[in-house]
Structure 1
Amino acid sequence: MTTRQLHFNLFLHDTGHHEASWRLPDADPHAVHDLAYHQRLARIAEDAKFDSVFLADSPALFGDVGRRPQGRIEPTVLLAALAVQTSRIGLIATASTSYNEPFNLARRFSSIDWISNGRAGWNIVTTAGDAAARNFGLEDQPLHRDRYERASEFLEVATRLWDSWEDDAIVGDKQSGVHTDAAKVHAINHRGAHFRVDGPLNAPRSPQAHPLLVQAGSSEDGKEFAARWAEAVFTATPTIEEARAFYEDVKRRTLANGRDPEHVKILPGIVPVIADTAVEAAELEAELDRLISHEYARRQLAKTLRVDPEDLPFDRPLPENLPGEDEIEGAKSRYTLIVDLARRENLTVRELIGRLGGGRGHRTFSGTPVQVADTIQEWFETGAADGFNIMPAVLPSGLEVFAAKVVPILQERGLFRTEYTGTTLRDHYGLPRPANTLVPAQV
């Protein structure tokens, strides 16, 4: 009988996921633009046998450039550079369906899959925020539901483009002078509400056929989208009860969409602060929290909650008259997560800022390697996760400690691989290679 094992994705983010990580004495404030830095982190994760690394992105400058590193390298470009410095670990990048076109993006991810020999993944986002909209000739962001409708049609087009070449289309017959069997390369002739695309793609079907499809929205629209399209889901669930409810909900929706729930891996984010003793871990966490710029953080929180900063006194709870989720056209699920966290634990604004500074609503905790491993095992074995989106509070040290001290514990318990057993990202996640939707199944 095959033993179920954890899946780990490393979320690479500047000098770490804690917003004050760049202010620590050993941090390099210029690391965000350093290719060698990213390559080193990817190799550490690969040596630890992680399934994948992941790069977030936004088509707008996010937040206050004066307060933390900004202006990252475009992620699909960076993935190409990581591909040549690694050999087995999966490579996932974020790209927006709101501010790209299906043909260009399908070709880009197909190219990464070829360059990496089958290790590409696409984190599909619809992109909230007016700042991004104004970079693409719009006054305001499209409505939440409209963004997801566009995203669904975007995926229909992209997947058909990836299928527009049959696997054996290239014959390379020198004697006959036939390089490619033209009858096995198909136009898609898509005509929809958002896109008109003839095809075929100007790239043959790649090693994985499609990149691994990842999704990170947790609103109602987001969960429905995940149930139809996603093969891995990144989610923020700060408590195990919320994680179990989310896990069960997405798996149920996946089954209702006619898909195998085992083919969707649920990966909550965790932000561990790890040290040899619990006291040392708590001291590091406290040092990071002390370095938070509270005034800046309050402005960011006010922007998320759609209120004025003056309405958020530091030492009082959130005001009662906040907008409901239905009134939010931005990141609905993150808005609800923040408000629910503050209400549930009766946090003051100052306390809430401290909780969000470490992981923006993801599960954060400090402890020893054994305590971290115990937490991961409990979530995994009690229906809260198929694995985790590992988000070290500080990089590279947080990753180094996790790889050197937490991973071996989980390997000894039989919960995590000691060697890769496949070569593609789909192999790592135990997912099948997609059948070609444009070719009748062979009987």
Structure 2
Amino acid sequence: MGKPNKQVHLNVFLRQAGHHAAAWRHPKTTPELTFDFAYYKGLAQTAERGLLDSVFMADGYVGTGRRLEPFTLLSALSVVTERLGLIGTVGTTYNEPYHVARKFASLDHISGGRSGWNIVTGHTDATAYNFGKESHLEHSERYKWAEEFVEVTKQLWDSWEEDALVFDKEAGIQFDEKKLHEINYSGSVYQVKGPLNIPRPPQGYPVLVQAGSSEAGRELAARTAEVIFTAQPTLGEGKAFYADVKGRLTKYGRSNSELIILPGFSPIIGDTKAEAQELEDELNAFHDIHEAVARLSERFGIDLTGLPLDEPVPQLIDPKGIDSVNGSKSRHQLILDMLHSDASLTLRQVVNRLAGARGHLLHTGTPIEIADVIQQWIEQDAADGFNLMPPIYPHGLNIFVDKVVPELQNRGIFRTAYEGTTLREHYGLPRPANRIRSGAAASLPS
């Protein structure tokens, strides 16, 4: 028998009107439905019809009127879907482990084991101000906080043994108190007694997702993450990142199959190449290019506003330096690398690339060409699948499900039916054992 084809994992990143910066202006989008549950219900049910592993909702604590709060929305979506995984962002810097452990345990019970937690640390002083802080925690320090935060939540989920619930009506016993355990966690940041007041989640833990690609982010992912969302705009960069992060797993006693790497991918799809290109051109025409250049200038501390839009960008020196960045270091470096990688890029091309996918993989083509890209990346160990970022909703998701998914199925690299019911089963991830019962948690660093 031949070697079975590597199977593609597909998550779709739900984002209002779409992932192109000008999506909300396109005639095929309905930005006025940003806060309408029926809109997200339709997107989620389309994703489930396409047998996708999961949907993902990002979150942030600054900005005006841009998104619904993920826990509330994902809980509602769990009722109108049956198999689809539900991943939401929750930041570690401005939350408490006990609150987050309770919320994810609840979502996992409500959904029947379909929850996932995208672990982020946050990246702006504006966020800090909304929580009464004078400034955002320094980059390396907040990653240390995040590691401890995740460890506390795991121990809280483990504080109930699997058979703690009894409901012995005759004896009048609802649960076995001997099977609930205080965790008595005492670390450098958190001190938590426990136990949690909700039973262990159906999955043991929600699937743990990490979205940082900086050095600190890669190390946190290798130690704690089960899925990683990342921005890798070329096949070469994808292969290098994949090898680097997978290569870190052995020091934590983990195998390659225990971490699923999903680069962001924004496919602009048409029945013909010309049709796809027409959609991309329409979106770029709606994009405010002068505002985009101003934002790029602010990011790098260099005035680019006077440069001609259709001439190559001069070699750019980053006067701030990556060490001075206390926000998203990986995104800062990614944009800088793109500016340095191709001397022929014009300023217009640069800002249009960023508008289309914010530094993620962007490809414009037919369904067969999109399937070719997906297959190439997984066969060359640049990805285990993709975090899909359609340029416009619902059109971009509809055409992917209706025309790209069947092509992937014909190639034998994507499921033709859900085989499991939980998100862990979709991703082929094991259900974690209860470490407190086994005594393993006590030996972990805190």
Whether TM-score is above 0.5 comes out as yes
**Partner SS for 2:438:** coil
Query: Structure 1 residue 175: deviation in Å?
Result: 1.7
Query: Structure 1 residue 296: deviation in Å?
Result: 2.1
Q: State the TM-score, normalized to the length of structure 2.
A: 0.95
Q: In the alignment, residue 414 of structure 1 is paired with which amino acid?
A: G
Q: Corresponding residue for 1:98?
A: 93
Q: In the alignment, residue 21 of structure 1 is paired with which amino acid?
A: A
CA distance in 2, matches of 1:320, 1:213: 37
Q: State the TM-score, normalized to the length of structure 1.
A: 0.95
State whether structure 2 residue 250 is matched by structure 1 residue 250: no
1:138 to 127, 133, 137: 133
Q: In the alignment, residue 197 of structure 1 is paired with which amino acid?
A: V
Query: Structure 1 residue 319: deviation in Å?
Result: 3.3
Q: In the alignment, residue 353 of structure 2 is paired with which amino acid?
A: R
State whether structure 2 residue 3 is matched by structure 1 residue 6: no
Q: Corresponding residue for 1:189?
A: 184
State whether structure 2 residue 385 is matched by structure 1 residue 387: yes
CA-to-partner distance for each residue in 1:192-246, whole Å, 9 max, x for gaps? 1111111111100111011000001000000000000000000000000000010
CA distance in 1, matches of 2:425, 2:196: 25
User: Would the aligned equivalents of 2:86 and 2:115 in 1 still touch at CA under 8 Å?
Assistant: yes
State whether structure 2 residue 441 is matched by structure 1 residue 439: no
Q: Corresponding residue for 1:37?
A: 39
**Partner SS for 1:438:** helix
Q: In the alignment, residue 397 of structure 1 is paired with which amino acid?
A: H
State whether structure 2 residue 336 is matched by structure 1 residue 339: yes
User: Would the aligned equivalents of 2:98 and 2:156 in 1 still touch at CA under 8 Å?
Assistant: yes
Q: Corresponding residue for 1:24?
A: 26
CA distance in 1, matches of 2:188, 2:178: 29
CA distance in 2, matches of 1:27, 1:246: 34
Query: Structure 1 residue 308: deviation in Å?
Result: 5.1
CA-to-partner distance for each residue in 1:119-163, whole Å, 9 max, x for gaps? 000000000011111111112211100110000000010000000
With 170-179 and 51-60 compared, the bigger mean Cα shift is at: 170-179
1:297 to 281, 292, 300: 292
Query: Structure 1 residue 320: deviation in Å?
Result: 2.1
What is the RMSD of the two structures over their aligned residues, measured on CA atoms? 1.6
State whether structure 2 residue 203 is matched by structure 1 residue 201: no
Q: Corresponding residue for 1:115?
A: 110
With 23-32 and 103-112 compared, the bigger mean Cα shift is at: 23-32
With 305-314 and 349-358 compared, the bigger mean Cα shift is at: 305-314
5 Å matches for 1:172-321?
172-307=167-302, 310=305, 314=309, 316-317=313-314, 319-321=316-318
With 362-371 and 174-183 compared, the bigger mean Cα shift is at: 174-183
CA distance in 2, matches of 1:293, 1:88: 39
Query: Structure 1 residue 60: deviation in Å?
Result: 1.1
Pick closer, same or farther for the CA change 1:317–1:82 going to 2, 3 Å. Answer: farther
User: Would the aligned equivalents of 1:189 and 1:199 in 2 still touch at CA under 8 Å?
Assistant: yes
Q: Corresponding residue for 1:152?
A: 147
1:350 to 348, 351, 354: 348
Q: Corresponding residue for 2:444?
A: none
Percent pairwise identity: 50
CA distance in 2, matches of 1:93, 1:436: 23
Q: Corresponding residue for 1:402?
A: 400
CA distance in 2, matches of 1:2, 1:421: 17
CA distance in 2, matches of 1:195, 1:312: 50
Query: Structure 1 residue 317: deviation in Å?
Result: 3.5
Query: Structure 1 residue 431: deviation in Å?
Result: 0.5
**Partner SS for 1:30:** helix
Q: Corresponding residue for 1:326?
A: 323
Query: Structure 1 residue 440: deviation in Å?
Result: 1.8
With 79-88 and 306-315 compared, the bigger mean Cα shift is at: 306-315
5 Å matches for 1:42-53?
42-53=44-55
CA distance in 1, matches of 2:88, 2:428: 20
Aligned residues: 435
Pick closer, same or farther for the CA change 1:351–1:140 going to 2, 3 Å. Answer: same
Query: Structure 1 residue 102: deviation in Å?
Result: 0.3
Pick closer, same or farther for the CA change 1:138–1:307 going to 2, 3 Å. Answer: farther
Pick closer, same or farther for the CA change 1:309–1:370 going to 2, 3 Å. Answer: same
User: Would the aligned equivalents of 1:369 and 1:402 in 2 still touch at CA under 8 Å?
Assistant: yes
Q: Corresponding residue for 1:425?
A: 423
Pick closer, same or farther for the CA change 1:88–1:241 going to 2, 3 Å. Answer: same
CA distance in 2, matches of 1:311, 1:328: 25
Q: Corresponding residue for 2:357?
A: 359
Pick closer, same or farther for the CA change 1:253–1:53 going to 2, 3 Å. Answer: same
Moved over 3 A (4+): 306-319
User: Would the aligned equivalents of 1:318 and 1:349 in 2 still touch at CA under 8 Å?
Assistant: no
Query: Structure 1 residue 322: deviation in Å?
Result: 3.1
CA distance in 1, matches of 2:438, 2:387: 37
User: Would the aligned equivalents of 1:191 and 1:197 in 2 still touch at CA under 8 Å?
Assistant: yes
User: Would the aligned equivalents of 1:317 and 1:349 in 2 still touch at CA under 8 Å?
Assistant: no
Task: Name structure 1 gaps, 5 residues minimum.
Answer: none
State whether structure 2 residue 78 is matched by structure 1 residue 83: yes
Query: Structure 1 residue 101: deviation in Å?
Result: 0.5
**Partner SS for 1:439:** helix
State whether structure 2 residue 372 is matched by structure 1 residue 374: yes
CA distance in 2, matches of 1:311, 1:187: 62
With 340-349 and 123-132 compared, the bigger mean Cα shift is at: 340-349
2:56 to 50, 54, 62: 54
Pick closer, same or farther for the CA change 1:311–1:126 going to 2, 3 Å. Answer: farther
User: Would the aligned equivalents of 2:14 and 2:57 in 1 still touch at CA under 8 Å?
Assistant: yes
User: Would the aligned equivalents of 2:424 and 2:430 in 1 still touch at CA under 8 Å?
Assistant: yes
Task: Name structure 2 gaps, 5 residues minimum.
Answer: 441-446
User: Would the aligned equivalents of 2:158 and 2:436 in 1 still touch at CA under 8 Å?
Assistant: yes
CA-to-partner distance for each residue in 1:22-70, whole Å, 9 max, x for gaps? 1111221212211111010000000110000000111111xxx6xxxx4
